[in-house]
């Protein structure tokens, strides 16, 4: 079984401008993210990103725009020695379609748990919206809500080493 730190993307990993991050030029990894994820990796956690990307359904950006950002993020993590596992994303939005994967639905997390033999009791989710924590709770994973664009270095997680 594998310990995993699940993270929302916009507002947790990268700067959330208050609207959609539509292109790689708008994507900026927040201060403290790389350092924190390296620390969690050293403590045995793999990293899984769980993100709603409703801007695709709304036509604000394309699937290829999203994938370009994801490739960049993945490379930055891997180059830093972070145990990045995978990104799960929901391209839907209720304005145009209904789905089971969009948070607060738990399908993306359930898929990651099944695919990567995740130890639910040892894993956690960090998100900046209640829907992130609701999705995790539905699977039995503890969650921590942070402020949008909060520096992850400020987190004190009692279940992690100091």
Instruction: Output the 3-class SS for 7-45.
Output: ECCECCCECCCCCCCCCHHHCCECCCHHHHHHHHHHCCC
**Among 8, 70, 83, 128, which one carries the catalytic annotation?**
8
Strands (E), the chain: 4-7, 46-52, 84-90, 124-127, 142-145
The answer on pLDDT for 11 being more than 60 is: yes
The mean per-residue pLDDT over the stretch 61-84 comes to 98
pLDDT in tens, 21-60: 999 999 999 999 999 999 999 999 999 999 999 999 999 9
Whole-number pLDDT of residue 154: 93
Domains of the chain and any CATH numbers: 4-153 (3.40.50.1000)
Average pLDDT of every residue of the chain: 95
Whole-number pLDDT of residue 157: 79
What lies within 8 Å, CB to CB, of 10 at 6+ separation is 16, 20, 21, 51, 128
**Cα separation of 41 and 88, whole Å?**
19
**Among 10, 16, 65, 70, which one carries the catalytic annotation?**
10
**Cα separation of 104 and 131, whole Å?**
4
Whole-number pLDDT of residue 161: 61
Give yes or no: 83 in active site. no
Give yes or no: 8 in active site. yes
pLDDT in tens, 121-160: 999 999 999 999 999 999 999 999 999 999 999 998 776 6
């Amino acid at each position: 079984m594998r310990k995993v730190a699940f993270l929302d993307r916009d507002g947790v990993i990268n700067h959330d401008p208050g609207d959609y991050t539509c292109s790689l030029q708008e994507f900026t990894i927040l201060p403290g993210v790389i350092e924190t994820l390296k620390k969690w990796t050293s403590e045995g956690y793999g990293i899984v990103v769980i993100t709603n990307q409703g801007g695709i359904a709304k036509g604000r950006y394309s699937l290829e725009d999203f994938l370009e950002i994801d490739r960049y993020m993945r490379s930055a993590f891997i180059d830093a020695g972070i145990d990045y596992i995978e990104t799960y994303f929901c391209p839907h939005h209720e304005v145009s379609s209904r789905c089971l994967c969009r948070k607060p639905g738990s399908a993306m997390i359930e898929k990651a748990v099944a695919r990567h033999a995740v130890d639910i009791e040892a894993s956690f989710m960090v998100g900046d919206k209640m829907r992130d924590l609701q999705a995790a709770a539905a699977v039995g994973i503890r969650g921590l809500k942070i402020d949008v664009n909060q520096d992850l270095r400020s987190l004190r997680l009692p279940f992690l080493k100091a």
